[in-house]
Amino acid sequence: MKKLAALIPAAAILAACGSEPLIPDESVMISPGFHPPLEAVVGVVIVGVVAYYVIDPLAPNWEVKINQLDETRVAIDLRKKRFSTGGDGEAREIFRRRAQEIVDDNGFTGYAILQYSESIDSETAFARRVARGVIVVQKPPPATPAG
């Protein structure tokens, strides 16, 4: 889908180079009283594809980055996608879920949250929610020799 969206502008530029128009000067019969030009229908489809590419409704709402700070401290950064429908209050739950996954996947016994914050990042015209936190993982006690 992303490749298709990138090819559309290139096709439009190449089409402008030819002597014949890429889109014929015809109309599309949608109903007996509505016959929009084919050019307008193609334009609406292109706008729809580009909008779908930008909004990407199937992408996860949150991007998660994990950074191991040292043996026991792990930073978890979350960034919400710019265009979404909902999910504004789920940052803390995603943070906790990811922290528990770190514990489970690495054989730790638990974790404690050292710091956690949520804010709005307005780096461009479209602001996005961000959440950042640091956890301390708890290692299992060392095995004692049987004897």
Interval 14-36: pLDDT, tens:
555 556 666 666 766 677 777 67
Instruction: Give tens-digit pLDDT for 34-67.
Output: 767 777 777 778 877 777 666 666 666 788 999 9
Helix (H/G/I), strand (E/B), else coil: 58: coil
Q: Which domain holds residue 10?
A: 2-55
Using the 3D structure, point to which of 22, 40, 55 is the last residue of a domain: 55
Using the 3D structure, point to which of 55, 73, 88 is the last residue of a domain: 55
Is residue 128 within 8 A of residue 121, CB to CB? The reply is yes
Query: Would you say residue 131 has pLDDT above 70?
Result: yes
Q: Are residues 35 and 91 in the same domain?
A: no
Q: Considering the chain, what is the average pLDDT of its residues?
A: 80
Compute the C-alpha angle 93/96/99, nearest 5°. Answer: 150
Q: Is residue 145 part of a domain?
A: no
What is the tally of structural domains in the chain?
2
Q: Are residues 50 and 77 in the same domain?
A: no
Q: Are residues 88 and 120 in the same domain?
A: yes
Helix (H/G/I), strand (E/B), else coil: 13: helix
Q: Are residues 73 and 129 in the same domain?
A: yes
Q: Are residues 37 and 75 in the same domain?
A: no
Helix (H/G/I), strand (E/B), else coil: 147: coil
Q: Is residue 8 part of a domain?
A: yes
pTM recorded for the entire structure:
0.61
Lowest mean pLDDT among 1-10, 31-40, 43-52, 75-84: 1-10
Q: Are residues 79 and 130 in the same domain?
A: yes
